[in-house]
Amino acid sequence: MKKQRRFKRLLSLIGLSLLLSICLSAQSAHSAMIKSSPVSKAMAQKTWNYFVKATQTPTGLPSDRIDINPDGSQTMVTQTNDSNIGMYLTSIISAQDLGIISQQEATNRVQALIKELRALPKYQGFFYDWYNTNTGAPNEKFVSTVDVAWLDTALITAEYAFPKLKSQLSSLSQAMDYSLLYNQSLNQLYGGYTVGTGPTGFTYGNINTETRIADYLAIGKGNVPAKLWFGVYRTLPSNWTWQQQVPAGYSTTYAGTKVFEGHYTYEGITYVPSWGGSMFEALMPTLFMNEKALAPRALGLNDYNMVQLQVKYAQTQKYSLWGISPCATPDGGYDAFGIKEVGSANPPYDETGVITPHASFLALQFAPQQAQANLTKMATEYDMVGKYGFYDSINPKTATVTHSYLALDEGMIMASLDNALDNNALMNDFNQSSIARIPQPLLSMEKFSITAAPKTKTN
């Protein structure tokens, strides 16, 4: 009997030992997975290193692009634009939030940038679109509405990340009055303004593009009337038959402005299309604008659907990865990639199977598991991670990696990581501003026609 008890006890001990071993192994594997996850402080550190290198210029302005040559050497271009500068500023905030750099280093970098921004040539307070990083001279005297808005967004956000510098940052922001860029008859913003010529011959007419950040700021500053928000098309008018689909929907009125709440449908998913069918058009504004919480029946729902459309499209094309958006190409160029079925543009954006990581980082807020899985696959199966984090693009059909880094895309990745790892810290900084809060009711009051359809997740 005693032998039986000892034997049972021995079996129990062996079982407990095996169980502990399994648990410890699982815990070790889980820890390793967290440490090696693309959504980590380690990845943010690599991404931040891009800006450390890219700002080693006479002006301290970030280079637009760094290419990694076959011999390992680096080629850094000598130009930048105002979106890049904005992404550098927000990346300083993110690096401080995540403990990658100290508060002192972050403050020093912002002070140096403010000094350079004050010195840069401008037009009526607006920054020009492209500058030489060696001299600070503008390439041409053109103000791009959307690009200057991204720099403005960064300035507003930085006011709350660096309160001691608030007055200096605010003066740069307040000098930009968007009434210069407002087309009153169309109730839309012009695409830009050329000094000596005037505004562009086109306006920004789609809500589901990155340009909505400019509309949002213009309203928040009180430079234009709030009705601008509803002067921008949800879908293009149904009688514009050249677009990719004839939209379904209905007309309604918000704040005295008539709006056609239209939508497209693809593979059972209803959505308000972007212009070119790319991820950054739809989701870049969500790095700052809290559409998920404020517009769950409108933009927030549509943001989720845009991710599912990208996943579904990749499945239909039998791509092993998903995430189509403008990015660098292996030949040293850049292409505005997009999915024809997800956009309105005709002719459509290019689509050659090229995938860019920044699309998945932008998707983290709306489909975290799908985005992390996609990024992990890029990193482990396609060797997509280099000196400064994820390379800018890959064609999984040929396994061709573009060994380049772009300031805009690195900035979107850095901002996405900050929000994902630090409870939407960047978004929260932006939304402390009255400029960000004033238009919030416009987001909440709207209901897109896609709310009639069930929420669909693509496996």
Where are the domains positioned within the chain?
Answer: 48-452
Asked if 355 and 396 count as a contact pair (C-beta separation under 8 A), the reply is: yes
Q: How many Cβ atoms are within 10 Å of 256's Cβ, its own excluded?
A: 8
Q: What is the pLDDT of residues 440-459, one digit of tens each?
A: 999 999 999 998 644 445 54
What 3-state DSSP class applies to 74?
Answer: strand
Of 7-16, 41-50, 284-293, minimum mean pLDDT range: 7-16
- Element containing residue 329 per DSSP (H, E): none
Yes or no: say if 160 and 432 are a contact pair by the CB < 8 Å rule: yes
**Inter-residue contact 181 to 189 (CB < 8 Å):** yes
What are the tens digits of pLDDT across the range 362-391? 999 999 999 999 999 999 999 999 999 999
Whether residue 352 contacts residue 337, with contact meaning beta carbons closer than 8 Å, is answered with yes
- Mean pLDDT confidence for 380-407: 96
pLDDT band at 173 (very low <50, low <70, confident <90, very high): very high
Give the model's pLDDT for residue 29.
Answer: 37
The residues near 363 (Cβ < 8 Å, ≥ 6 apart) are 279, 283, 307, 310, 323, 370, 371
- Report the alpha-carbon distance of residue 197 to residue 182 in Å, rounded: 16
Q: Check residue 154 and give its pLDDT.
A: 98
Per-residue pLDDT at 144? 98
- Strand (E) or helix (H) holding 157: helix 145-161
Question: How far is residue 260's CA from residue 242's CA, in Å, rounded to a whole number?
Answer: 18
Side-chain half-sphere of 87: how many Cα atoms within 13 Å? 30
Q: Using 50, 70 and 90 to split pLDDT, how confident is the model at 1? A: very low
Across 117-127, average pLDDT: 98
Residue 91, pLDDT > 80, answer: yes
Please state the rounded mean pLDDT for residues 8-35.
38
Q: Flag whether pLDDT at 96 surpasses 60.
A: yes
Strand pairing of 192-194 and 142-144? antiparallel
Q: How far is CA 159 from CA 50, 263, 296, 346, 434, in A?
A: 24, 37, 28, 40, 12
Residue 425: predicted pLDDT: 98
Is residue 323 within 8 A of residue 402, CB to CB? The reply is no
Note the pLDDT of residue 331. 86
Mean pLDDT of the chain: 92
pLDDT at 36: 58
Instruction: Judge contact between 165 and 110, C-beta under 8 A.
Output: yes
Please tell me the predicted confidence (pLDDT) of residue 332: 86
CATH architecture of the domain 48-452 equals Alpha/alpha barrel (1.50)
Average pLDDT of 247-274? 96
pLDDT confidence of residue 431:
98
- In 3-state terms, what secondary structure has residue 13? helix
Query: Where does the pLDDT of residue 2 fall: very low under 50, low under 70, confident under 90, or very high at 90 and above?
Result: very low
Tokens in use for 366? 């709306």
Residues paired with 149 in a beta bridge = none
Structure confidence at residue 330 (pLDDT) = 85
**In this predicted model, what pLDDT tens digit does every residue of 217-229 receive, in sequence order?**
999 999 999 999 9
CA separation for the pair 436, 175 (Å, rounded): 17
pLDDT above 50 (res 233): yes
Long-range pairs of 380-386 with CB within 8 A, sequence gap ≥ 24: 381/320, 382/321, 384/357, 385/38, 385/43, 385/46, 386/68
pLDDT-derived band at 12, boundaries 50, 70, 90: very low
pLDDT at residue 16 is higher than 60:
no
Instruction: Give the Cα separation of 321 and 335 in Å (integer).
Output: 18
Of 154, 437, 198, 210, whose CA–CA distance to 338 is shortest?
Answer: 210
Is residue 168 a contact partner of residue 155, using CB atoms and an 8 Å limit?
no
